[in-house]
Amino acid sequence: MSKHVVLGDRVNASVVILREGVLVIDTSVDPDGARQVQAEAQKHGEVLYVINTHEHGDHLAGNSLFACPIISSAPARKRMEQAKASALPAITFSQEMELFLSEPVMLKHYGGHSPGSAVIYFPKRKLLFTGDLVFAGRVPYMGEAVYRDWLAALTELEGWKVDTVVPGHGPQGGKEVLTRQRQWLEEYIEAVRTWTAQGLTPQDIFNQVLSRHQVVERWHPMIKKSIELIQHEFK
């Protein structure tokens, strides 16, 4: 019974099976993925709530397929509304929220990756869904990062009792997934700051990043933005 299913390759969407029904955490990136999430959820019972980890569109494709209420952080809902998302959350929280189901479910807002980024935690299972606060095994999307908030979130989560971490992208793993993401971000920030202090131009810094990390071309503008954000935040 104590079970969860993670669907996803490009982006993770999950179904958590509880005694009284299921929770869906994020609803995939495109219509095909969305239908898979819906089919998987229906296999296990009534869908009680859809929870969106944050507002980025690649996590919301199937929102409109579910009749149950959607839950997100308040900042995430605000951004979804601005982006004219097709199905908006009916329930929001600004800092923390707890669902009193057959087992407790805790939601906490952090920001960092995006203004609305939150995590979902099942303390009895020591199971944590981080949304895009964690990209496992790949360069994270940092196009609107607030790095200090992001690092503070990961540092706090590393102190929680967690056996299983389901990231927003990439395979689930143990607690080390959190530590790896924090260290990756720390090293990235440190490298950009060092190159900046050495007088490298933004273009040179961008080239340094590309020589060290695999980044798909459509994310090149994101990398440039991430460098700007570091230079702005750590002046």
Using CB under 5 A as the criterion, which residues of the chain lie in contact with Zn ion when the complex forms?
A: 56, 132
Nearer to Zn ion, 22 or 177 (CB): 177
DSSP, collapsed to helix, strand or coil, labels residue 73 as strand
Nearer to Zn ion, 56 or 77 (CB): 56
Task: Using alpha carbons, list the distances in angstroms from residue 41 to 10, 18, 50, 223.
Answer: 19, 11, 10, 36
Closest of 180, 179, 209 to residue 192, by C-alpha: 209
Minimum separation from the CB atom of position 10 to Zn ion (A):
12
Nearer to Zn ion, 115 or 162 (CB): 115
Minimum separation from the CB atom of position 214 to Zn ion (A):
19
Minimum separation from the CB atom of position 168 to Zn ion (A):
6
73 neighbors 88 (Cβ within 8 angstroms): no
Closest of 113, 101, 198 to residue 148, by C-alpha: 113
Return all residues near 65 (Cβ < 8 A) that are at least 6 apart: 27, 34, 35, 37, 38
Nearer to Zn ion, 147 or 195 (CB): 147
Q: Report residue 213 CA to chain centroid gap.
A: 21
Minimum separation from the CB atom of position 53 to Zn ion (A):
8
